C-alpha cells in the first residue's frame, strides 16, 4: 500500500490529506475518474477508529458507513464493530489498489498560481510534492479536550478508553455523561470494575443512545454504579479525585466530594487539529473555528483547496452534525467540482442506499 519510490517534487492533479473512510472514498472516485492523485496519511488508514475501545459497535448502521459502492456484509446483519470496519477499509484499499502514503505527515502547504507545494515528513525523511488541488479529508478527533486541572497527567488517568479488562476488580471514576462515558462505565462495571460517574449536568445528555440510558439508570438506582450528578473534577491525586458541585456548569458553595479511586477515565471528547488549515491560509470562523467553504463545491476561501469529512464542522462539534454517514456527499461535490461530473457510485445498491441521488448532482 505504501509508496516508497517518490522523488522530491512529484506532481499530481490532486493531493488528498487523510485516509479515513471519506478520504479513501474520494481516492476511489478520483481513480475511477482517471484523475491522478497523491494520498498522504500521518498514521495508518482509519487511524481514529483504530484507537476506539475494543469491540465497540458503530451507532450508524452498516449501509450508512459503506463507501465506494461496496456493501458491508457480516453474519449477523447488525451494527459492526470498529475492528470489523478497519478490516473493511483494508479490503477497500486492496480491492481498488489504492496507493496511500501512510505514516507521512504533511508539515507545510504553500499555494501559488501554479497550484500547491506540500512538504511532508515520511519515515525515511522529508519529501516535497506538487498538486494543482488539495483536499483535506482529516477527521476531527486529533486530540482530547483537556480539563487543565492538577493531576490530569498522572499515570492512572487517561482520555482514551481501551479495554474494560484493564479495570477488573479496580475502582474506576468516569468523567462525562455522553455516549462514550456511559457506555464505558457500563462495560467496565460488567467486566468487574467498581464504577462511579461524575457529570457536570444533573442528567445525562439527551444524545445518549436509547438502549443505554435505561441500563445505566437501572444500575444507578440499584446502587451498583455511583453517580455524582452536577459535579466537575477540580483536582486528581494518586489516591482520590476532588469533585466540586456545580449548577449550570458553574461551581457553587458546597463541600467538595473526595472520591477515592484507582483509575480515572476522562471521557471529555476530542477536537480537531486545524494547523494545516491555518498553514494553507483557510479562514476559520466563529468559536468553533469552522473552515470557510462553499457548500456547493466544498472549496475553501483558498482557491483549489477543498475540505471533506467531519472537520468541515470545525475544531469541535458541541452538537454533532457531521459523521461518516452524512459526509459522503462531500465526495460527490468535490469530484464534480474537479471533473465536471459526479462519481459513478457512492452508496451501495439502491434498495439499501440512503445516499443522495447522484442524478441531482448531474442535473446542471
Q: Is the pLDDT of residue 352 over 80?
A: no
Among the listed ranges 81-90, 304-313, 352-361, which one has the minimum average pLDDT value?
352-361
CA-based nearest residue to 51, from 188, 123, 136, 143 = 143
Q: Is the pLDDT of residue 315 over 80?
A: no
Among the listed ranges 92-101, 214-223, 280-289, 299-308, which one has the minimum average pLDDT value?
280-289
Q: Is the pLDDT of residue 44 over 50?
A: yes
Q: Which residues contact 153 (CB under 8 A, 6 or more apart)?
A: none
Among the listed ranges 194-203, 245-254, 334-343, 347-356, which one has the minimum average pLDDT value?
347-356
Residue-by-residue DSSP string for 149-188: -TTTTSTTEES----GGGGTTSEEEEE--SHHHHHHHHHH
pLDDT at 354: 47
- Distance CA(364)–CA(362), nearest Å, equals 6
As a whole number, mean pLDDT of residues 92-111 equals 96
Q: Is the pLDDT of residue 341 over 80?
A: yes
As a whole number, mean pLDDT of residues 243-269 equals 94
Q: Is the dihedral of CA 122, 128, 131, 135 positive or negative?
A: positive
Domains with residue ranges and CATH for the chain: 10-142+270-360 (3.50.50.60), 146-266 (3.50.50.60)
pLDDT at 348: 52
**pLDDT-above-70 percentage for the chain:** 90
Label residue 50 by pLDDT band (50, 70, 90).
confident
Q: Is the pLDDT of residue 363 over 50?
A: no
Label residue 220 by pLDDT band (50, 70, 90).
very high
pLDDT at 34: 95
Contact, 213 vs 184, CB < 8 A?
Answer: no
Q: Is the dihedral of CA 25, 28, 32, 33 positive or negative?
A: positive
For the segment 61-92, what is each residue's pLDDT rounded down to a tens digit? 788 888 888 888 888 877 888 899 999 999 99
pLDDT at 132: 96
Q: Which residues contact 286 (CB under 8 A, 6 or more apart)?
A: 314
Backbone angles phi, psi at 154, to 5 degrees: -65, 155
pLDDT at 8: 56
pTM of the model: 0.85
- Distance CA(3)–CA(327), nearest Å, equals 27
How many helices (H) and strands (E) are present in the chain, helices listed first? 8, 19
Q: Is the pLDDT of residue 6 over 60?
A: no
> For 28-43, b where at least 16 C-beta lie within 10 A, e where not — what string?
bbbbebebebbbbbbb
3-state SS track over 251-291 = ECCCCCEEEECCEEEECCCEECCCHHHHHHCCCEECCCCEE
Between 153 and 58, whose confidence is greater? 153
- Distance CA(196)–CA(287), nearest Å, equals 32
Among the listed ranges 56-60, 181-185, 226-230, which one has the minimum average pLDDT value?
56-60
Label residue 250 by pLDDT band (50, 70, 90).
confident
Angle at 308 between CA 80 and CA 274, to 5 degrees: 105
Taking all residues of the chain, what is their mean pLDDT, rounded to a whole number?
88
Helix spans in the chain (H): 21-32, 47-50, 62-65, 82-96, 179-190, 213-222, 275-280, 328-339
Contact, 153 vs 168, CB < 8 A?
Answer: no
pLDDT at 215: 95
**pLDDT-above-90 percentage for the chain:** 60
As a whole number, mean pLDDT of residues 100-112 equals 95
Label residue 264 by pLDDT band (50, 70, 90).
very high
Among the listed ranges 159-163, 208-212, 215-219, 353-357, which one has the minimum average pLDDT value?
353-357
As a whole number, mean pLDDT of residues 227-247 equals 97
Q: Is the pLDDT of residue 3 over 80?
A: no
Amino acid at each position: 500500500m505504501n509508496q516508497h519510490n517518490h522523488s522530491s517534487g512529484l506532481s499530481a492533479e490532486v493531493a488528498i490529506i487523510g485516509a479515513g473512510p471519506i478520504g479513501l472514498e474520494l481516492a476511489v472516485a478520483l481513480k475511477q475518474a482517471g484523475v491522478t492523485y497523491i494520498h498522504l496519511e500521518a498514521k495508518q488508514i482509519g487511524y481514529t477508529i483504530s484507537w476506539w475501545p475494543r469491540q465497540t459497535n458503530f451507532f450508524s448502521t452498516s449501509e450508512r458507513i459503506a463507501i465506494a459502492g461496496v456493501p458491508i456484509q457480516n453474519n449477523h446483519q447488525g451494527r459492526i464493530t470498529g475492528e470489523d470496519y478497519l478490516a473493511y477499509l483494508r479490503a477497500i484499499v486492496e480491492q481498488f489498489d489504492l496507493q496511500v502514503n501512510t505514516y507521512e505527515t504533511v508539515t507545510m502547504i504553500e499555494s501559488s498560481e501554479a497550484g500547491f507545494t506540500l512538504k511532508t515528513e515520511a519515515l525515511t525523511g522529508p519529501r516535497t510534492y506538487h498538486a494543482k488541488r488539495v483536499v483535506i479529508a482529516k477527521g476531527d478527533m486529533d486530540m482530547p479536550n483537556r480539563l487543565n486541572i492538577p493531576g490530569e497527567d498522572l499515570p492512572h488517568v487517561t482520555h482514551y478508553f481501551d479495554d474494560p479488562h484493564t479495570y477488573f476488580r479496580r475502582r474506576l471514576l468516569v468523567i462525562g455523561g455522553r455516549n462514550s462515558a456511559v457506555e464505558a462505565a457500563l462495560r467496565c462495571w460488567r467486566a468487574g470494575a467498581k464504577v462511579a460517574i461524575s457529570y457536570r449536568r444533573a442528567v445525562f445528555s439527551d444524545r445518549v443512545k436509547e438502549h443505554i440510558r435505561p441500563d445505566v439508570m437501572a444500575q444507578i438506582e440499584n446502587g451498583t454504579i455511583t453517580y455524582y450528578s452536577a459535579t466537575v473534577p477540580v483536582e486528581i491525586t494518586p489516591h482520590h479525585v476532588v469533585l466540586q458541585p456545580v449548577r449550570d456548569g458553574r461551581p457553587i458553595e458546597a463541600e467538595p466530594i473526595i472520591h477515592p479511586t484507582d483509575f480515572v477515565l476522562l471521557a471529555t471528547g476530542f477536537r480537531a487539529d486545524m494547523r494545516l488549515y491555518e498553514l494553507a491560509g483557510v479562514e476559520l470562523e466563529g468559536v468553533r473555528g469552522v473552515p470557510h467553504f462553499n457548500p456547493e463545491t466544498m472549496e475553501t476561501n483558498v482557491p483549489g483547496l477543498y475540505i471533506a469529512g467531519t472537520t468541515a464542522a470545525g475544531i469541535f462539534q458541541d452538537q454533532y452534525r457531521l459523521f461518516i454517514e452524512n459526509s459522503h456527499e462531500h465526495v460527490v461535490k468535490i469530484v464534480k467540482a474537479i471533473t465536471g461530473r459526479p462519481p459513478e457510485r457512492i452508496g451501495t445498491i439502491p434498495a439499501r442506499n440512503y445516499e443522495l441521488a447522484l442524478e441531482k448532482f448531474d442535473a446542471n
